[in-house]
């Protein structure tokens, strides 16, 4: 069994702690062994989650950077491999949070056609994704929002009514309207 294979072999916390001490000391051989041992598994895990080679390679670089920046936080309470994959999962999760859909503000409607992509130029995949997103949004509106939440949202974002005007007409406080708008936007964004 090679040294790299031994690192991934199992829950030997004493061996993991010794190895991590070498990494903390900046020993080049320990780094090389660590990279040799974990790169294939980390890359395979990331590739399954992202399915894009360029993104996977970038995320794997982030993973190893995050590992070495946080190696001091490894306490040996779990196998080193479990800690490494915890860092990997958190790095991927941060990557997904960073990739938000491009949105267009609903309040600035002049020149809206100039900012939106031409539907005729969309690929079949983009059409399919747009249809799926529309279905998901309709589902949220129908199943998750109350009639009042949808009324407040549509009056504010589609009709342009102010929070004050909506609150007055519904006999509610402005804070209540703002809270409803926040919850509705959060539900719609989750789709």
Q: What is the pLDDT of residue 5?
A: 46
Question: What's the pLDDT at 98?
Answer: 60
Q: What are the residues whose beta carbons fall under 8 Å from the beta carbon of 79, sequence distance 6 or more?
A: 10, 11, 12, 13, 16
- pLDDT tens-digit profile of 14-30? 677 787 888 888 888 98
Res. 142 pLDDT band, cuts 50 70 90 = confident
Q: Does 105 fall in a domain?
A: no
Name every residue whose Cβ is closer than 8 Å to that of residue 130 and which is 6 or more positions away in sequence: 122
Q: Is residue 149 part of a domain?
A: yes
Does the structure show a pLDDT above 90 at 41? yes
Instruction: Look at residue 144 and tell me if it is in a domain.
Output: yes
Provide the residue range defining the domain that includes 153. Answer: 123-189
Whole-number pLDDT of residue 110: 47
Average pLDDT rounded to a whole number, residues 32-59: 88
Q: Please count the structural domains in the chain.
A: 2
> What does the pLDDT read at residue 7?
52
| Per-residue pLDDT band at 115 (split at 50, 70, 90) | low
With respect to residue 70, please indicate whether it lies within any of the assigned structural domains: yes
Q: How large a percentage of the chain has pLDDT more than 70? A: 77
pTM attached to this predicted model: 0.47
Q: How many angstroms separate the CA atoms of 188 and 141, rounded?
A: 8
Let me know if residue 116 belongs to a domain.
Answer: no
Tell me: do 43 and 129 sit in the same domain: no
Over residues 39-43, mean pLDDT: 92
| Res 51 pLDDT > 70 | yes
pLDDT score recorded for residue 79: 85
- Check residue 4 and give its pLDDT: 44
**Domain termination residue (choose one: 98, 131, 150):** 98
pLDDT score at 127 = 66
Shared-domain flag, residues 38 and 73: yes
What is the average pLDDT across 69-80?
A: 82
The more confidently predicted of residues 180 and 106 is 180
Residues 87, 68: contact at Cβ < 8 Å? no
């Amino acid at each position: 069994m090679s040294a790299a294979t031994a690192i991934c072999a199992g829950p030997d916390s004493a061996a993991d702690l010794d190895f991590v001490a070498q990494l903390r000391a900046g020993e080049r051989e320990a780094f090389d062994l660590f990279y040799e041992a974990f790169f294939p598994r980390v890359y395979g895990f990331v590739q399954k989650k992202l399915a894009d080679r360029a993104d996977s390679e970038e995320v794997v670089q982030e993973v190893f950077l995050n590992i070495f920046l946080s190696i001091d936080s490894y306490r040996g309470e779990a196998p080193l491999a479990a800690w490494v994959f915890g860092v990997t999962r958190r790095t991927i999760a941060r990557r997904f949070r960073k990739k938000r859909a491009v949105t267009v503000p609903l309040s600035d409607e002049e020149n809206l056609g100039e900012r939106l992509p031409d539907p005729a130029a969309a690929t079949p995949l983009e059409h399919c994704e747009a249809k799926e997103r529309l279905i998901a949004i309709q589902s949220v509106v129908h199943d998750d929002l109350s009639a009042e939440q949808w009324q407040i949202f549509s009056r504010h974002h589609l009709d342009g009514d102010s929070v004050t005007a909506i609150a007055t007409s519904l006999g509610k406080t402005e804070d209540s309207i703002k809270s409803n708008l926040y919850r509705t936007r959060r539900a719609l964004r989750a789709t």
